[in-house]
Structure formats: structure tokens, C-alpha cells
Amino acid sequence: MVNIAPSILSADFSRLGEELEAVEKAGADWIHLDIMDGHFVPNLTFGAPVVKSIRSKSGLYFDAHLMVMNPDDHFEDFARAGVDGITIHQETGLHLDRSITAIKELGLDAGISLNPATPVSTIEHLLPRLDLVLIMSVNPGFGGQRFIDYTLDKIIALKVLKEKSGWDFKIAVDGGVVPENAALLIESGAEVLVAGSAIFGKEDYRAAISALRVGL
């Protein structure tokens, strides 16, 4: 079954703890944490201290999506803050192999994210060691953007590679995920749907999460 990962980027930051409890009660599987540095992406969000302060509010899997330059400098801080997995961007990694090893050595799951224009082939050799591949289906930096259609091809390509090889990374999709495209995404191979505005932008979190799980 697909995992639904609400992105707290669209949550009410003044009530983060309550928002986490609410989505957990409403049936969320993971919590997606968008870490932005104002350099790799134009926006700034929050760092390890905030993650640490909300860790006790939820028993769900904490999935840290690092949209930052020099991500390796922050692995230990996020590990100490209690995240379960760290995903870095292919485009920020000069030494991706080393970064993946470092994340694994901290006992965390390791993922790589691809911007819309970055091909899957750029991470092919790392796939056997990855726990997650996060396909960005919008240009990272903001919530509430429109899904970029050609990124679906990359989800399908990853599914084919996964089936052929038996590697067990999960395929995640992030950006513009809405009930209207959820069924197609799942059918194409997405195993984790990250969604910000399609959950936190709604009144009824339970209905919003179910709508993503089954599609419209």
C-alpha cells in the first residue's frame, strides 16, 4: 500500500506539534520535512532544532528532504534530532557515494532526490544502496505548485529498474500531488506520495489523506 507523507511546509508553523498529531490521527504514514537553505532553493524553512522539538509529537517515520548546499555538514545534526531517513539532492552532491555512506553510518535510511530535469541515469550506480528515490515533480522551493507531467516518465523508469533488479529502494514523488493525479502516480510506480497543500490546505485531513490513497 502507498505511504502518504504530509509535508509540513504547508502546515501552520505556529502550531506544528498539533498539526503533526492531527495528520497522524488522520492516517498519515510518514512526516516529510522540507529543509531549505535559501541557496540551493530560493526559500528558507527550518533546521534540526525545530525537528528535534517536534520529534516527541509523533511516532511516525521522519523523512528529511535536504534542499541545501553542502548537505553532508548537517547529517549528524539531523540524526541527533531524531529523523529516520535523510534524502539529499543529486544536484548538491559532489561526492554522492560518500554522502550515502555517511548517512548509512549514522544508522539512517538514505535517499536521493532528482530535480525535474535531472535524469534517473545519473544515480543508476547508487540505486542498489538507496532506501528512497525522491522524484521532484515541481521545481523545489515552494509548496502549491503544479505537477510537471514529464516527471512521470522517471517514476515509470524507476519502477522498471526496480522490477528488473530486485533492488528495494522506495519510489517517492514530491510536488503537485493531488487526488486527481494520485491514482496514476501509484499505478506508475510511486510508493510514497508527498503532499503539502493537498493535505494541510484542506479542512478535513482524514478525507484529504484518503483521497490521495485511493485517488479520484
Does the active-site annotation cover 131? no
Sign of CA dihedral 89, 94, 100, 103: negative
> What's the start-to-end Cα distance of the chain, in Å?
16
Site string for ligand DX5, 21-50 (x = CB under 6 A): -----------x-x----------------
Identify the active-site residue in 72, 168, 174, 204.
Answer: 174
CB nearer to ligand DX5: pick between 123 and 208: 208
Q: Which is nearer to ligand DX5, 69 or 167 (CB)?
A: 69
- 177 lies in the binding site for ligand DX5 (CB under 6 A): yes
Q: Which residues contact 193 (CB under 8 A, 6 or more apart)?
A: 2, 3, 4, 5, 172, 173, 177, 182, 185, 186, 212
**Residue 210, contacted partner among ligand DX5, Zn ion, none, CB below 5-8 A by kind:** none
CB of 130 to ligand DX5, least distance (A): 18
List, edge to edge, every strand of the sheet that includes 30-36: 3-6, 192-195, 170-174, 132-136, 109-114, 85-89, 61-67, 30-36
28 binds, among Zn ion, ligand DX5, none (CB under 5 to 8 A by kind): none
Should residue 198 be labelled a site residue for ligand DX5 when binding is judged by CB under 6 A?
yes
Window 81-120: contact mask with ligand DX5 (x via CB under 6 A): ----------------------------------------
Pick from 27, 29, 36, 30: nearest CA to 9: 36
Catalytic residue among 29, 34, 63, 131: 34
Q: Which one of 145, 156, 159, 210 is in contact with ligand DX5 (CB under 6 A)?
A: 145
Contacts of 187 (CB under 8 A, 6+ apart): none
